[in-house]
Chains A and B, each alone.
Chain A
Amino acid sequence: MNKFIHILIIAATLSGGYLFAQCPRPSKVITPDYKNGWDENAQSKSSQLLPGDEYEMIFIAQAGIKYRVQASAGLKEFLEDNISFQLVVKEVNRIEEKGKVQYKSSEVILYDSELADKDDEAIIVTSKVQRLSIKVKVIREDFPATSLLCAVILIEAQKSQSTGLR
């Protein structure tokens, strides 16, 4: 029986994860907070993952727009506790030593759901356009290693009141 499940999983993986029913749109899993001015952003994504898999999504944060990021994972029942995520910005620093110029790239974690106190949501606003990464991981302990799950990342956006556009 286990071997049969393995075959199914491998077939699903080889076919790019399309063998099983598609994952739902993120807004079908996490309802956007329309009442408070948030709107679903087209950069939201859903994807099929195995427990322990890491998935990085690079999205564009436009200047002066406030973004809220939430994630969830599951099969039939989706829970925020099934998934952890980090919001990361890559910083490139110019370093000049003894006349030589070098560029060093480093990652700065802006939000980590595993370290967050209460709400599993990251809210961010930038004064200049940025490429931000959302790194998600389905928490392994909760599922058998062969369970193919849906992970959803909902990005909501609203025009920022405080910073203006530029």
Chain B
Amino acid sequence: MINKAFYFSSILFLFFTSCSSEQDEMMNIDETLLAMNDDEFQNNKPKSKIVYSIPSPNEQYDLLHSLTTALIPTVINPLSNSLNYSTNSKKALNFGVYISDVAYLMRYDQGRSVFLDYVSTLEKLGQDLDITKVYGEELINQVDEEGTDTKRLFKISSENYFSIYDQLIENKKGLELSLILSGSWIETMHILFTSSKKYNESAEVQGYIIDQRLVLENLIGFVESFGEDERIDPLMDYLRKIGNVYKKLKCEDSDLEIENSEGTVMLTGGTSCKFTSNSYIEMKSLIMEIRTSIIS
């Protein structure tokens, strides 16, 4: 009887103390907020912010296609591998890899049935990443209707990228978006290197790989803007390693010239960089190593 009374009074005590402390806390927060005058409010709100944009894989492959029209079908990550990805990080990274692959295949006119295979795989992978409204019946019907128009299919894959981006931002999934964009960029780099072949074999594609150093800077800025997280740490290590190889490039600066012609600003000059045989091989191996760890 005494025990029961003790437990009962203990529960009552805990109930009231926890309620009152929570209430006190809420009161304090309210008071703090209400006590702010206009000046304090102005001082507490963010004054400026920097955001980083990253070219979509569609934009990247549009440029690649203007440099080489040769498709390498074996370069992509097989869709069958999607069954092996069990953690959310792996799913997000490889979601990005497949987004990149499908953009590549659509730019190289691989058609409706290939697209539909990707829609099916991305839908399954996306379910665990809160990407649920993108790969529905509406998209399948759209792809079906535009089946023979390869330009239109490429456009749909581009619009699809916008929708995924928007939905992840809307669902506050910055971390997943960081992983997706990084996986996508690594895959793009892998495809660029494969298309570039050996050192100096395709100078234009090689030049385009060098241009990616600026995309990498923005990607790192983007990932860092979502704060530190243990799931992102290994990825940041990879990105920084790639950045360190870019720092080894031979670069020359020339004055930036700015001309205004009929309302268009034209920029010429700036920094030019080149791979040496060693830095090209080092970068290619590093990308291969990182890509393998992502898709395996």
Contacts and interface: CB of A to CB of B under 8 A. Distances in A.
Q: Do A and B associate with each other?
A: yes
Interface stretch (B74-82, B134-142, B191-199, B256-264): B256-264
A3 B34 contact: yes
Q: Contact size class for A?
A: 35 or more
B272 A42 contact: no
Interface in B20-67: 33-34, 36, 38, 41-42, 44-56, 58-59, 63, 66-67
B46 A22 contact: no
Contacts of B45: 9-10, 13, 50, 53
Contacts of B170: 18, 22
Contact of B54 (A43, A54, A146): A43
Given A22-B169, A124-B265, A128-B270, A10 B33 contact: yes
A67 to B, nearest CB: 10
A16 B46 CA distance: 10
Nearest to B172: A18
Interface in A46-73: 47, 50, 53-63, 65-66
A57 B166 contact: no
Contact of B264 (A3, A44, A60, A124): A124
Interface string A100-119: 00000000101100000001
A165 interface: yes
Interface in B142-178: 158, 161-162, 165-166, 169-170, 172
A58 B169 contact: no
A165 B50 CA distance: 29
Interface size on B, as a range, is 35 or more
Given A45-B53, A91-B256, A123 B265 contact: yes
A63 B161 CA distance: 22
A149 interface: no
A56 to B, nearest CB: 5
Interface of B: 33-34, 36, 38, 41-42, 44-56, 58-59, 63, 66-67, 158, 161-162, 165-166, 169-170, 172, 204, 207, 211, 214-215, 217-218, 221, 253, 256, 258, 263-272
